[in-house]
Amino acid sequence: MENGHFQLPPDIQEIVDLAKRIVRNELIPLEAEFLPHPAHAFGIKETTNLKRVFGPDVVNHLVDISRDTGLWYLMVPEKYGGSGLSMLAQIAILEQFNYTAVPFPFANVANILYQCEGDQVDRFLKPVIEGNMTTCFAQTEPNAGSDPGGMMQTRAVKDGKDWVLNGTKMWISGAAESDMIMVQAVTDAEKRQRGGITMFLVKRDNPGMLVEEPGIKTWLGPHASQYIVHFEDCRVPQSDVLGEVGNGFRLGQRWLTIHDRLLRGPYALGKMQRALDMSIEWSKNRVTFGKPLSERQAIQWHLVDMYIDLEALRSLTYQMAARADAGEDIRTEAGMVKLTSMVWGARTLDKAIQIHGAMGESLELPLTLFYRYLRHGQIGGGANEIQRMQIARKLLRG
């Protein structure tokens, strides 16, 4: 298969084809039950979402497929039992799974957790890999969204062998469903993002941490998935610091670069390809005023615009994945992928909804759900304006 000018090796193409078959044969048939269900939510782990909607028979069946095929370890390094696939290969496979609204269960591990050392590996990393522990990432605060390094107020003070956390995080996806939260806190107010922010692994049952429930309801779905998290004299042992003290902001940026920026590419590509395929099929079969929509220039031009955005984004995403595999620093380039994937993705879904007319707004189709998720991405994980600022800063540095 060629995507842009990238030719995937036969062994990777085989996995991509496998993922495609699973999506068509196992996941899309479940959409009729999944889409209108009030329990699924944005931003929580795949297996958790499945359990909210389907019974154990369906969930266990999909988990068995994932484990039997090895796809469960899709993004896990060889050191921890994974396949050690390149980022380019991972993105090609993830694009297929994002073709449907029904999530496929796999070990969705934050890349910074591979910084776990000593007994942290057995207490945190391995349980997350095996699906026995869920996690989320807490950086954003009520007054520290786009500028977390400069405005972060959550503090951690050393007290004997423990750190004591005080502060509030907001818009934390999946906090109520997580067993452990990766929390950034200021440990040196002078250094802040330059060596003064530390990452803590805080267990969900810590008495000093409170997740406000039922959470913040948004237009992303009927079930809240964004939460406010309070830390009041929350004691965390030194053994639960991730990485070095003061290095937490860098770890957070490493997580954001891959999980919330580069991986937005395949997240959008799958949805855009589905929207285009559905729109082509609909336009051929929907007849108005004596002829199919596909014969009308206005519809044809919508389809052309959707196709151009799709192919351009695929080329950009795959190129940046290949550069990441080559060891390049792609922090700015990952921001380019996030910016374009969310903007182009949302406008592609908007066109698809328009082509489908009233049917496009129906919950029987995944189009409105896809649109909400992609439009949200222009804010969540770093707003469009922040990505533009970072790209401009790199350009002007020369």
Q: What is the mean pLDDT of the chain?
A: 95
8 A C-beta contact, residue 161 and residue 188: no
Comparing CA positions, the residue from 92, 69, 77 lying closest to residue 2 is 92
User: For position 147, what pLDDT does the model report?
Assistant: 87
pLDDT at 354 over 50: yes
User: For position 130, what pLDDT does the model report?
Assistant: 97
User: For position 6, what pLDDT does the model report?
Assistant: 62
User: For position 340, what pLDDT does the model report?
Assistant: 98
Give alpha helix (H) positions in 138-296.
148-151, 248-257, 264-285
Per-residue tokens: 263:
């991986």
Tokens 């959707």, residue?
306
Q: Is 266 helix (H, G, I), strand (E, B) or coil?
A: helix
User: For position 296, what pLDDT does the model report?
Assistant: 97
pLDDT at 1 over 90: no
Q: Residues 6 or more apart from 165 whose CB is under 8 A from it? A: 154, 155, 156, 183, 185, 200, 202, 208, 209, 231, 233, 234, 235, 236
Confidence of residue 4 (pLDDT cuts 50, 70, 90): very low
Q: Is 198 helix (H, G, I), strand (E, B) or coil?
A: strand
SS (H, E, C) 295-360: HCHHHHHHHHHHHHHHHHHHHHHHHHHHHHHCCCCCHHHHHHHHHHHHHHHHHHHHHHHHHHHHHH
User: For position 223, what pLDDT does the model report?
Assistant: 82
Per-residue tokens: 31:
């959409």
Listed range (139-153, 235-249, 324-338) with the worst mean pLDDT:
139-153
User: For position 2, what pLDDT does the model report?
Assistant: 44
8 A C-beta contact, residue 106 and residue 75: yes
239 sits in which H/E element: none
Question: What's the CA gap between 276 and 299, in Å, rounded?
Answer: 12
Q: What pLDDT, in 10s, does the model give residues 238-261?
A: 999 999 999 999 999 999 999 999
Q: Is 168 helix (H, G, I), strand (E, B) or coil?
A: strand
Tokens 């220039």, residue?
297
Per DSSP, what are the bridge partners of residue 134? none
Listed range (64-78, 88-102, 141-155) with the worst mean pLDDT:
141-155
pLDDT at 224 over 80: no
203 sits in which H/E element: strand 197-203
Domains and CATH numbers, the chain: 2-108 (1.10.540.10), 135-245 (2.40.110.10), 263-397 (1.20.140.10)
User: For position 222, what pLDDT does the model report?
Assistant: 77
Is the four-CA dihedral 19, 259, 325, 6 of positive or negative sign? positive
8 A C-beta contact, residue 125 and residue 113: yes
* Other beta carbons less than 10 A from residue 212's beta carbon: 16
Question: What's the CA gap between 354 and 192, in Å, rounded?
Answer: 47
Question: What's the CA gap between 355 and 377, in Å, rounded?
Answer: 23
* Other beta carbons less than 10 A from residue 138's beta carbon: 28
Question: What's the CA gap between 220 and 318, in Å, rounded?
Answer: 28
Residue 190, CA atoms < 13 Å, CB-side half-sphere? 0
Q: What pLDDT, in 10s, does the model give residues 329-345?
A: 999 999 999 999 999 99
Q: What pLDDT, in 10s, does the model give residues 92-109?
A: 999 999 999 999 999 999
Overall average pLDDT of the 369-377 stretch: 97
Overall average pLDDT of the 166-188 stretch: 96
What DSSP state is assigned to residue 216?
Answer: B
Question: What's the CA gap between 396 and 241, in Å, rounded?
Answer: 36
Cα 117 to Cα 81, 253, 267, 276, 308: the distances in Å are 17, 20, 31, 45, 45
Overall average pLDDT of the 304-330 stretch: 97
Give alpha helix (H) positions in the chain.
10-22, 31-34, 46-53, 56-69, 87-97, 120, 126-129, 148-151, 248-257, 264-285, 297-325, 331-356, 367-376, 384-397
Tokens 């945190």, residue?
124
